[in-house]
Amino acid sequence: MWQLIQRSYRFIRTLWAVKALRQADNDAVKQQAQHALSELLAGSRGLPMKVGQVLAGMGDESEYAALTQSVEPWSLKKMLPVLEKAWGKPVSTILENIEESQAAASLGQVHRAKLNAHETVAIKIQYPDIAKAMQAEMRLYGLIPAGGPVKTWGFDLQAYKQTLNQNIHQELDYLNEMKQQMLFSGSVHVQGLHVPSTYPLLCRKNILVQSWAEGVRLSDVATWGLPQRLFVARTLMQSLFQSLFQAGLVHGDPHPGNMLFRYDEKEPQTTLLDFGCMLQIDEMPRLALLNMIAVARGERDINLLTLFSAMGFDEHKLQAIEAKLPTLIQLLCRPFIEERAFDIEHWDLSASVELLLGDDKWWFRSSAPANLFLVMRVFQGLLSQLILLKVKLPWFPLLQQALKTSTWEQAKAWTPDDIEIAKQPEVQGSATHLCICIKPHGKNEINITLTAISALDLENLMPELIALEMRDAGVHLSDIRKKLLNDGLEPQILMDMEMPSYHCHIELTI
C-alpha cells in the first residue's frame, strides 16, 4: 500500500512537471523543466518512465535521452531471488556466472550471464511487483480528464486507453514477448538484420533469456562511412516494410535503446531488441495502405473513403474533408511517389498538412483508428533514423524489394467490395463555413472554423460539459440539426448564449 501511495505521489508530481514544461516561456525555464521531468520519469520506472522514452524520441540528443540508454539498475543481490523463484531452483544449477546489470529499463533490467553449457546469454528480469504498480498507474491515467481538441473533436479516448492498456499487458508478459520474437524472426528476412535467439525452457512470464548481442548505438553508426550508413538504413527501412506489409507484425518501440549495430565493411549487422511492444496489423488495413501508395503513384483509381474505411478510419468524419483526400494522400505518400532517392530533410509533412487542412486536420486525426498513433510512431522512428544517418534512399524500389514478387500485384488487384459508405445527407445552402467561438469565463476564447456541413454534426463536436450546460438551459443540438435539414445550410447565427461557465457563439457564414 505504501509503495502505491509513493507511486501515486510521484505520478501527480509528474503531471505538475508536465504542466510546468508546457507553461515555460523561455529556453532557460524550459530546459530546467525538462531536466526536472526527466529525473522524475527516470526515477519512477513503470509507466512514467515509458512516457519519458516516448518524449525522448529516436535520437540521443534529447533531454530525456538517458531514459533510452538506461537508468541506475537494481543490485544483482536484489534481483537473484526473483530469478530463483521463477526457475524454482538455485541459479547456480543453471548459470556458470551472472553479472551486475548495466542496462535497466522501465519494466525490468538485463544481466549478462553464462549458462553451464557455456553459451553467453542476456537475462531480462522483471522488477518485483512492477505489474501491480503499472495497473495502479493505468487506473490513475484513466482518471485524467479529457479536454481541448481531444474532447472537442470526438476522439475515441476509450479506444486509445484500451490500446495502451493492451500494449502494457503484452509488455509485462515475457512469455508473450518470447513468442513474438520467435515469430518475427521466422517471418522477416532482410539482409543485415539479426534477431537474438531465445531459450524457451528458461523463459517465464517475468524472465526472458536470449542470446547475448554486442554492438553500438545508432548515434555511433552516424560516424561510419557512407556505404555502411546506407546499408544500415536499407536494413532498417526494408525491415519495417516487410514486417508491416507482409508479416503484419511490426516492432512497435523503435527508440535507440532497442537497437544495436556491429560494423562490417560490406555488411553491417542491425540487431533488434525488446519485442514486448509488437503491432499486429490485419490483412485488410495492410492491403488498403499499399493501395493508398498505388493511388498516390497513379497506378489505381479507387474510392478513397472506402480505402480509409478499410484501414479502420471513421468514414463519416472523413466525409467533411472528402474533397481534400486526394491531395492529402499525395502529401502522406510523397516518398513512395518518386523512384529516385528521397530527401526527407525537404519533406515538411506537418506544415503541408496544416496548409491543406487547417482546423480540418482534427477531422482526420479524430477519425483515425486507435492503433494508428503506434504505427505513425514507427514511421517517425524510421524518419529520425534516416536523418541521423544523413542518407537518402529510394522508398518505392526498396518497398518492392522487401516484399514478395506477388504481394504488390495482389494488393493492386484487391478491391474492398464488402465495405459500404453511408453518405451524409445532401443539404443545399449557400453557407460555406461553420464558425464556433467558445469563451470560458476568465480564459482565452477558442475559435474553430469548419466546413458548413459540419453543422449537422454539432452533437458530436460539442464538448460534453458545454453540451450539458446547453441541455440544462433547454437548448438541444438535435433540434438545430433538424432545422438545418429542413431549411438548408444558409448563413445564420445558430447560437449565441451565455452559460454558467462559457459564452458560446455558433454561426454559419460564407
162 has pLDDT over 50: yes
Taking the C-alpha atoms of residue 494 and residue 498, their distance in angstroms, rounded to an integer, is 14
The radius of gyration computed from the CA coordinates of the chain, to the nearest angstrom, equals 26
Write out the three cell numbers for 107: 519494466
387 has pLDDT over 80? yes
Per-residue pLDDT, averaged over 131-153, amounts to 54
Angle at which helices 405-412 and 283-296 cross, to 10°: 80
Residue 210 has pLDDT above 60, yes or no: yes
Largest CA distance in the chain: 83
pLDDT tens digits, one per residue of 322-371 = 889 999 999 999 999 988 999 998 888 888 988 898 877 877 887 888 77
Per-residue confidence at 114, pLDDT binned at 50, 70, 90? very high
Which residues are bridge partners to 418 per DSSP?
none
Query: What's at 18, amino acid-wise?
Result: V
- Look at 137-151, 277-291, 359-373 and tell me which has the smallest mean pLDDT: 137-151
Pick from 259, 215, 221: nearest CA to 240 = 259
What local confidence, expressed as pLDDT, does residue 502 receive? 80
Strand order in the sheet with 433-440: 446-451, 433-440, 502-509, 492-498
Return the minimum-mean-pLDDT range out of 76-90, 120-134, 378-392, 439-453: 439-453
pLDDT tens-digit map of 32-48: 555 554 454 444 555 55
Residue 319 has pLDDT above 90, yes or no: no
Residues 256 and 217: beta-carbon distance below 8 Å: yes
d(CA 328, CA 357): 9
- Residue in 307, 316, 253 with CA at minimum distance from that of residue 285: 307
pLDDT at residue 392 greater than cutoff 80:
yes
With cut-offs at 50, 70 and 90, classify the pLDDT of residue 30. low
